[in-house]
Structure 1
Amino acid sequence: MEEFAALQSFAEVAQWLWDEVVRWVMLFISPGWRQYQLFIIIGLIGAAFLLRLIVAPRVEAWARSRSGWDKWQLRMLVQLRRMLGLICYAVLAWAVYLVMQQATWPSRSYLIGVAATLVTLWIVVAFVTRLVANAFLRRIVAWALWIYGTLYALNVSDDVAEFLDSLTFGIGEVRLSVLTVLQAAVLIAVLLAIARLATTRASGALRRNEDISPSMQVLAVKAVQALVYGIVLMIAIRALGFDLTGLAVLSGAIGLGIGFGLQKVVSNLVSGIIILLDKSIKPGDVISLGDTFGWIDSLGARYVSVVTRDGKEYLIPNEDLITSQVVNWSHTNKLVRLDLHFGVSYGDDPHRVRKLAIEAAAGVRRVLSNPNPPVCHITGFGDSSVDYILRFWITDPSDGLTNIKGNVYLALWDSFAANGVSFPFPQREVRVLPGSTLETTATAPGAKE
């Protein structure tokens, strides 16, 4: 019976809508002021086109003179140029409507007022929706505002709302109407757009604050996002009429799932919070973890993004950074000491070798000369060479370690070659003792066997 009553109600509303359409068509066909208003509305289109041709060059010149504007202001400027024709039409339509309201009966300008309202609504919706970055949400908000504004301008919004509210369906013990679902969808779309704008603004303000460390900036941004989107979720649930106390069962199920299958996920989340709080690593730090060497690009809720010198991006779980040994080359400061080992022959003066090595290293770009200049020490007497260690400091490990070592090695080679210092290589001497049975088979070049 309820379904039959709903169908009967729907048929009555459809019949009413059809009668209204027929009535409006007959009103336009019949001679009178309604036809005159229709002709005025069409004539305003041509007048708006001419006005746009006059105003467009001036708006273009003004737009090109703008500089230093934010992205949202530039988007509004582009939208202004795109909607210039409609703006001209709205201005002319409202001017004609106001004049006719004063000069003649109000009913003789009713349709012009409706047309002006609809065009103005179109312009307002176009500018408001440009603030919504997400294309899907922008489309939902635009359609919702446009449909509601059109119904309101035609003075049928209450009738349509009453009809939609009569169409109901149930989810468990909760009874929902189509009107409630549509209102909740529009509310959620608007709240998500506002939440996105608010979090973007808050994130920008936090990242520009130099008094907050990079790791705390990331933590604050995540906290703001969780808070804002959590509020949106709660409002959406309440808008649909669901009882929030029913979430207790869902929370218990989620807790059970965490206990059995989400240990790693939760561990990574908790490890990420610990990393942000103890400031052990932060964006821009240069770290080594196993065979991975690179700088931290971003800190996520589940992983840390590490970019290496060869352009590879490693997503390292937060738990690995807590439980494994991590070398942070720039934790407290960016001073990094590098060691190079080399050897020279016993015939070279070691005092001169140390001096040449220090001078060669000091002449390489990126090697510090103050406050920690390069030093060179003898480390031992090898089988074929005197062994040395050359130590120098740099402040930019993010620019690479292998390349600076290679440049210092090359400077040593050039300096030693120019000053007659030789790099020995292992040599072996074979002696044939008297009375041995070893016979040599090698012959001199050109000799006959």
Structure 2
Amino acid sequence: MDEQTITGSTASEIAASVRALHERGALRTGDALPPVRELAAQLGVNRNTAVAAYRLLAQAGVVTARGRAGTVVAGVTAVAQEGYAPDSVLRDIGTGNPDPRRIPDLSGALATAVGRPVLYGEPVIDPALEERALAWVSADLPGRPVRITVTNGAVDAVERLLAQALLRDDAVALEDPCFLASIHTVRLGGYRAVPVPVDAEGMTVDGLRAALESGVRAVICTPRAQNPTGATLSPARAAALRAVLAEHPYVLVIEDDHFSMLSQRPYETLIGPEHRRYALVRSVSKSLGPDMCLAVAATDPETADRLAMRLSPGTTWVSHILQRLVLAQLTDEAVLAEVAAAGRHYAERNAAFAARLTERGLPTQARDGLNLWVRLPVEAKVVADRLMRRGWLARTGDEFVLGERLSPSHHLRLTVHDLEDDDAARLIDDLVDAAR
């Protein structure tokens, strides 16, 4: 048998053969695989079997489908990440980070976080934190049975929620443009992302309806401070989306309310009173700091039971020291006052920057969240390149696009709330000039 020949009679056998060829170096990055029909004829299998094999390989990241260019062996490619760009000498204005000066000091809470040791077999959730979390979410999910699960941040919560409800290749509805971590979570889990357009009021009704009709098994939505656009669900939009979801009560709805403690907008929900599978996720990373990797997930009882199976005592639980530390801050009036002041600060700084851009001929609306979503009259990459030559590192909207890129993005996502007044004025001058 030729050592470079693909073999197998089932999808899994064919996929394993390609992986073996890749591991031995017989197939290298960029090498083209045979077209589906050709491979099926070569192996004497049904065309659908060859399609399924290539799908398994794509999910595992071994191959990449390039449309008419065929299927090629994939290489290791860099993916966009949130946070500061490593090793850059430029002023980074695309970080998505909170202002470290607005993160409460942990010193006072540390002493209360150290209690008696917690041993294997004990409850995974601190009872006092569970009570505080229930008070945090119950008013926003009135009349619905709610159970609390504590996870290592919002991304961990979403990953666990999808894993307990979905199988590989199941479809998930995501906002488009989309939060980078959600894109990565869905792709790494082997799920299929179905884009739902976002406008100033959140997910569009037609977009969600189309996603549900295509068979999505889960919907991930940001009810306010959508990243990257800053959109927040309006009452009318939320009601319309609930009406669409009413016909699909067993589709898992995950609301990532990541900005809840800092948001200046009221909370609206997609979760209707009769919906059966739901989760409202609230984290403390934006308000108490990214290193405070803790989120609470308020879910229906069945989902809570499934999540509990994935939070084993002593292995995958969230540290009780971290839980006590978060609880100490959530019950400290001085800390809560700092958080509220930080929320107002972000809103005011973004609004002032947006107003000045608008005055200079770049109409911009400050919505909610840490960032500004700036519409440009020319391609964003052109503007970003021009800004780079002036010492700024900006993030284009291309990185957040989930659907097919029919044309280059005309948006920048800017993090400007931490700029001093002189730097903000200089950036506005440079941005207006770069956008000409």
TM-score (norm 2): 0.21
Larger radius of gyration: 1
Report the structure, 1 or 2, having the larger helix content: 1
TM-score (norm 1): 0.20
- Larger RCO (CA within 8 A; separation ≥ 6): 2
